């Protein structure tokens, strides 16, 4: 799609993601940037690109981009909401089942030759979902899609968000709005679905983890820094919670020596919640459509910084 209307410089080197120096060098004469969540786009990068009109990220999250700095410079920032919602919701359900029903642990037991006794009623037991309370921290698109899927397990869902979602409660009568502390203290499983902002950084810290039930599980498919990792390791070590399933981390890639890798009651995934073939294809298409729209002087399908329209009105750029 991009090649049809733009000249492209593709980062193809083995070094991945591109180094900051390379990014700053290559972006100098560019009108548009299509980046990934691994590219930190801040004031320094934008200053190096006086012609930059659009930053299109191939992700729904945009915490790697300094939005106020982009807006100030009249740069449009776009992202890929909606197209990965189902993939992430499906994966969240997968993580919940994996950690509560000990699926990864069970697999490891067989592969390491530890399944050496006959069937036993107490072997690898875990809690049933039916009748349990699930807590959702954040009820945006992904939170709602997760709630819909989990509802089929006949659970009660407590959710916390900045606003009460009457529209969702009407469709899913098993849902109840609550403050964050109630969600944490009454839920058997707590799943995080908030974006990373300065307000959600370390939202789940030592104090919040202590509010959870000792039998509860924490699931994170949002962003690593929403959870204070050190506090989580302490919570797991000291048994404040029963386990965790994590797809995102403060440090990515997570080193194999990290303390989180030492717990059998923790399921780890390498930031792949959106990794269905379909979602990744749709993300690519939406990222391209966003970028092309801005260059054509048209409203992009998923603009992050709407205020930019007042700073630099949309205008067609010469294209090939
Ligand atoms: C996103 O899009 O922000 C996810 O973390 C990766 O798909």
Q: Check whether the bond before 17 is cis (ω within 30° of 0).
A: yes
Domain assignment present for 5: no
Catalytic (active site) residue 79: no
52 and 96 belong to one structural domain: no
User: 114 pairs with which residues across the strands?
Assistant: none
Out of 11-20, 111-120, 189-198, 288-297, least confident range: 11-20
72 and 123 belong to one structural domain: no
Structural domain harbouring 301: 20-82+277-317
Cβ atoms 228, 203 nearer than 8 A: no
pTM over 0.95: yes
The residue whose two tokens read 């990222």 is 287
252 and 222 belong to one structural domain: yes
CA of 62, closest atom in ligand 1: 3
Tens digits of residue pLDDT in 269-282: 999 999 999 999 99
Tokens (6 digits) for 161: 């968000």
Tell me how far CA of residue 78 lies from CA of 42, 59, 60, 72, in angstroms: 15, 9, 9, 15
Tell me how far CA of residue 204 lies from CA of 34, 91, 120, 207, 265, in angstroms: 32, 21, 37, 8, 19
Domain assignment present for 6: no
258 and 298 belong to one structural domain: no
263 and 287 belong to one structural domain: no
Tens digits of residue pLDDT in 40-59: 999 999 999 999 999 999 99
163 and 183 belong to one structural domain: yes
Q: Give residues (CB < 6 A) around ligand 1.
A: 37, 59-61, 84, 274
254 and 299 belong to one structural domain: no
As for how many domains the chain has, the answer is 2
43 and 190 belong to one structural domain: no
Domain assignment present for 4: no
Domain with 97 in it: what CATH number? 3.40.50.720
Catalytic (active site) residue 128: no
Cβ atoms 176, 158 nearer than 8 A: yes
Domain assignment present for 8: no
Domain assignment present for 34: yes
**pLDDT at site 5:** 95
Cα 99 to Cα 116: distance, rounded to the nearest angstrom: 22
212 and 311 belong to one structural domain: no
Q: Kindly report the protein residue whose alpha carbon is nearest to atom 2 of ligand 1.
A: 59
User: Coil, helix or strand for 188?
Assistant: coil
């Amino acid at each position: 799609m991009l090649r049809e209307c733009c000249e492209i410089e593709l980062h193809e080197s083995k070094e991945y993601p591109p180094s900051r120096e390379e990014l700053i060098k290559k972006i100098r004469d560019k009108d548009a940037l299509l980046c990934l969540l691994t590219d930190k786009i801040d004031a320094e990068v934008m200053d190096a690109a006086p012609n930059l009109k659009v930053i299109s990220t191939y992700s729904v999250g945009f915490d790697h981009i300094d939005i106020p700095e982009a807006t100030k410079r009249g740069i449009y920032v776009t992202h890929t909401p909606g197209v990965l919602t189902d993939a992430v919701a499906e994966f969240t359900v997968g993580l919940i089942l994996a950690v509560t029903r000990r699926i990864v642990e069970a697999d490891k037991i067989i592969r390491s030759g530890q399944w050496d006794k006959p069937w036993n009623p107490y072997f690898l037991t875990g809690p049933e979902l039916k009748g349990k309370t699930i807590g959702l921290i954040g009820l945006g698109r992904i939170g709602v899609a997760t709630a819909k899927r989990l509802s089929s397990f006949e659970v009660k869902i407590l959710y916390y968000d900045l606003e009460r979602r009457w529209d969702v409660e009407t469709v899913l009568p098993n849902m109840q709005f609550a403050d964050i502390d109630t969600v944490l203290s009454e839920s058997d499983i707590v799943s995080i679905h908030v974006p990373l902002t300065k307000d959600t950084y370390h939202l789940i810290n030592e104090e919040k983890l202590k509010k959870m039930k000792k039998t509860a599980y924490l699931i994170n498919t949002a962003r690593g820094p929403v959870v204070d990792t050190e506090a989580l390791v302490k919570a797991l070590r000291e048994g404040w919670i029963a386990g965790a399933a994590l797809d995102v981390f403060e440090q990515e890639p997570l080193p194999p020596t990290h303390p989180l890798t030492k717990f059998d009651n923790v399921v780890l995934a390498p930031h792949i919640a959106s990794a269905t073939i379909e979602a990744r294809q749709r993300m690519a298409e939406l990222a391209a459509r966003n970028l092309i729209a801005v260059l054509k002087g048209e409203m992009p399908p998923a603009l992050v910084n709407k205020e930019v329209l007042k700073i630099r009105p949309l205008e067609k750029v010469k294209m090939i």
